[in-house]
Structure 1
Amino acid sequence: MLKKMLCFFVLLLIVPTTILAQGYGLPRGQKFEKIRFELINNLMVIPIQINGAELSFILDSGVSKPILFNLSESDSVPINNVSEVTIRGLGDGEPMKALSSKGNVFKLGNVRNFSQDLYVVLDRDINLSTSLGIPVHGIIGYDLFRDFVVEVNYASKSIKLHDTELYDFKQKKNDQTIPLIVEKKKAYVEGTVLMRDTANIKVKLLVDTGSSDALWLFREPERGLEVPDKNYEDHLGRGLSGDIFGKRSKIKGVRIGDFELKDAKVAFPYREFFGGFENLGDRNGSVGGEVLKRFNMVFDYSRGQVTLRKNSNFKEPFQYNLAGIELQHNGLRYIAESIADSNGIVKDDDSSFGNVKILIENRTKLSLVPEIVVSSIRAGSPAAEAGLREGDVILAINGKGVHRYKIQEILKMLNEKEGKRVKVLIERYNKDLLFSFVLKKVFDD
């Protein structure tokens, strides 16, 4: 019944025993494979093929084994040699049942692994696609970083997977190579955080390309790692086991190698959301995509080093959720649009995302478009004080219909700059309501 519901096909794939080698590899003599990625909310989404099925995965250096999730009723993914297991991730939920699968064929361009293990999570609530606005079927990390020298170019939105034996390391001017500590399939760097009221503090940070946030720190008051006085409670994200909350604040800066980022955004997650990860060893936090995207990086797990180079994102200010709204897709809805101008001349307009169009009297078009809803709202935020609620359907922002924009573009419209007035048209219980609020600084300098 379960397999039928998710359209799984558990197959025994027959492949020659000569190619059942462990790990990823390139065709003989090929030095590297270049793969383009989409950068969505500071996350790298790469195309990947699993047993012939074309999917999209987040490149997540914090995950030890690939995890497949968010399979819809229309998805058909063959998986092999299945057994049931229980796994746990970050979040406030309970451990969950998953399938453990062995001997799967993974392909990324010319890169192949003919015997990849993975987990398949069956919980339908784990769905990154609704918040990112594009299909995302899973996460992959350590296996790729282990088998290649991984060159990440956030500026050009591409990665190169270099053969470790053929890779010729050439350090360029302004590059800096620092130690990369690989422990239990996770990578760490040592850095320094510049707190406002204490001396600079040395920290060991998990390198987490699967986090869209900037910097997470764990409270250690005895070392001076304490939440600054100016802070607010925030939804920090969602892990495999549920939502994660904590305190959001700002510190004087963070230093990695000789590179320093001033006025760095920081979050202090509540410890209870780490569930079965109470023993965090000597780790003091993690560094995520909003910091990492400011560098082009070369990860070399085999040599225990990572090379950093500043890119065009380096001086970008850290982004805060000024409005206090989080959005997600919630299925589809029909909208009616006029396709005639003020003189009655029919316009040619193909900018809608909908691919289902019905013309009425040559002047009105019905289009099927994504429905965007408020998934959460921060207490005390401008949007909350204006009266917006979780579950409200967003129709327009400052007079612009949101169906013409990607979800990340909509969020940018909602958080453009401090002092800007934002007018949001929503639908609630089949009524259209208009709300207005002014974006405010979350912290005074």
Structure 2
Amino acid sequence: MLVSWLQRHCCGCFLLLAVFWLTEKPLPVCAQQVFRISGRQNKAEVHFKFVRNMLIVQAKINNHGPYNFVLDTGCGYMMITDPLLLDSLNLKYKKKLKITGLGEGEDLDAWLVSALHVKIGDIEADNVSAALLGKDVLELSGFAGVPIHGLIGYDFFNSFPVKINFADSTITAFSTHKLPGCRKWTKIPLQIEGKKPYLFANINFNQGSSVPLKLIVDLGAGHPLSVESGWNNNGSMPEKYIAAANLGVGLSGPVNGYMSRVDLMEIGTYQFKQVIAAFPDSCSVMGKLDAVKRNGSIGVDLLKRFVMLFDYQQGYLCLKPNYKFKEPFEHDMSGMEYCSAGAGLNRIIVCRVEPGSAADLLGIEKDDELLAINFKEVSHMSLQEVDDILRSKNERTLLLEVLHHNIQAKVLLTLKRRI
């Protein structure tokens, strides 16, 4: 990854790969951290924003806010990624921590803050402990194009059954495990280990035999599938892949590897063909995985094809296909990685160009600014809209307006499927 920009920004139009694959050392337990539904309601519904494969909810902390938090099953503890909240909320920290995440860098300093009151709609919790990062290394605000202040994970999902519906962008928490209307859903066993959910899926590589893999169900990762181990025992490589790909940024720095596709993936009775998969290299993952042995992770680009019901206490995940179920898996076809910049996060800056890609052949370079696509200014577009256009159709031609070396230019970019 480019040191000057990507260590500050989570770029890439494909995924937030490994951003939340954390292997935290245990936080001290200050009090029971259980979210509850306010009043005597049987359920509570919260709306989320779906931005670049992230589920963003608004949370109040100690009656201040609201602040934007990513809902993330791959995060074992609540984490505040914006250090400015320490002063604005007058937070008191108790202990310095070291947090290890995937990536080719050192452990990260963090501080334990406790006795937080957290409220998300009609859902709240008292005496919540969180890890406050000393530096916002993830820069999720630049990646999302909206301010992001932290992550909420295990404590939320462990408190009650949680249904996630991408069709209407709702999260529903239930006060009972006797849930109506879920009998015809497919129930997948979940193993909750190290405060994170795991399931088994069968993967077929290179037209070979099916391989069972243990995968973390990670709502904080944008990829469809990531495979860290268990796939190439014979030393073979996929026939077609993007080499030396920048897969994202973890807490410990860049995560490198390559991307390809798997022929077939089976989860319960559901099958997916030609699934895009990330393959982190050993330098990014070896020695930095959780104590729980696993082979990889399933991310939001696959999970968003279902209505999901997590029940950590009963140990299952219920799935029902939604309108996105049959959509093909596609990766960015431009070769540009980019993120938001500027005070209003309404500028789009190119932070890396894949060698040999369509953008590279046009001469687009790092630090160029994307101004418009097909005559529409990107300042009036979300990053999600830009992502969707740049992965929309192989051989589609787009008219881009870019600022290159401080000179405005119009160029024709023809999208090219690379994997």
> If the TM-score is normalised by the length of the shorter chain, which range does it land in?
0.7 to 0.9
Q: Residue 174 of structure 2: which of 162, 165, 178 is its match? A: 162
Q: CA RMSD in A?
A: 2.2
Distance 1:226 1:139, change over 3 A: farther
Gaps of 5+ in 1: 1-19, 333-353, 355-368
Matched, 1:90 2:102: yes
Matched, 1:215 2:215: no
AA at the equivalent of 1:272? C
Task: Tell me if the contact between 2:207 and 2:263 (Cα under 8 Å) persists in the aligned partners.
Answer: no
5 Å matches for 1:35-46? 35-46=46-57
Which has the higher Rg, Structure 1 or Structure 2?
A: 1
Task: Tell me if the contact between 2:266 and 2:272 (Cα under 8 Å) persists in the aligned partners.
Answer: yes
Distance 1:94 1:435, change over 3 A: farther
Distance 1:67 1:101 in 2: 10
Task: Tell me if the contact between 1:81 and 1:103 (Cα under 8 Å) persists in the aligned partners.
Answer: no
Distance 1:66 1:371 in 2: 30
Distance 1:230 1:58, change over 3 A: same
Distance apart, 1:93 and its partner CA: 2.1
Q: Which has the higher contact order (CA 8 A, sep 6+)?
A: 2
| Number of the residue aligned with 1:363 | none
Matched, 1:50 2:86: no
Distance 1:215 1:417, change over 3 A: same
Aligned length: 387
SS of 1:272's equivalent in the other structure is helix
Per mean C-alpha deviation after superposition, the further-off stretch among 129-138 and 216-225 is 216-225
| Number of the residue aligned with 1:231 | 241
Task: Tell me if the contact between 2:223 and 2:299 (Cα under 8 Å) persists in the aligned partners.
Answer: yes
SS of 2:346's equivalent in the other structure is strand
What is the TM-score normalised by the length of structure 1?
0.82
Distance apart, 1:22 and its partner CA: 3.9
Task: Tell me if the contact between 2:191 and 2:198 (Cα under 8 Å) persists in the aligned partners.
Answer: yes
SS of 1:277's equivalent in the other structure is coil
What is the TM-score normalised by the length of structure 2?
0.86
Matched, 1:312 2:323: yes
Task: Tell me if the contact between 2:94 and 2:111 (Cα under 8 Å) persists in the aligned partners.
Answer: yes
Gaps of 5+ in 2: 1-30
SS of 1:147's equivalent in the other structure is coil
Distance apart, 1:275 and its partner CA: 5.9
| Number of the residue aligned with 1:188 | 198
| Number of the residue aligned with 2:20 | none
Matched, 1:201 2:211: yes
| Number of the residue aligned with 2:302 | 291
Distance apart, 1:152 and its partner CA: 1.0
SS of 1:252's equivalent in the other structure is strand
Per mean C-alpha deviation after superposition, the further-off stretch among 195-204 and 57-66 is 195-204
Distance 1:225 1:150 in 2: 40
Distance 1:73 1:152, change over 3 A: closer
Q: Residue 411 of structure 2: which of 423, 431, 435 is its match? A: 435
Distance 1:221 1:253, change over 3 A: closer
Distance apart, 1:74 and its partner CA: 12
AA at the equivalent of 1:67? M
| Number of the residue aligned with 2:263 | 252
Write the deviation string for residues 147-196 of structure 1: whole angstroms up to 9, x where unpaired. Answer: 11111112211111112xx3313464641112101111111011111223
Distance 2:229 2:286 in 1: 16
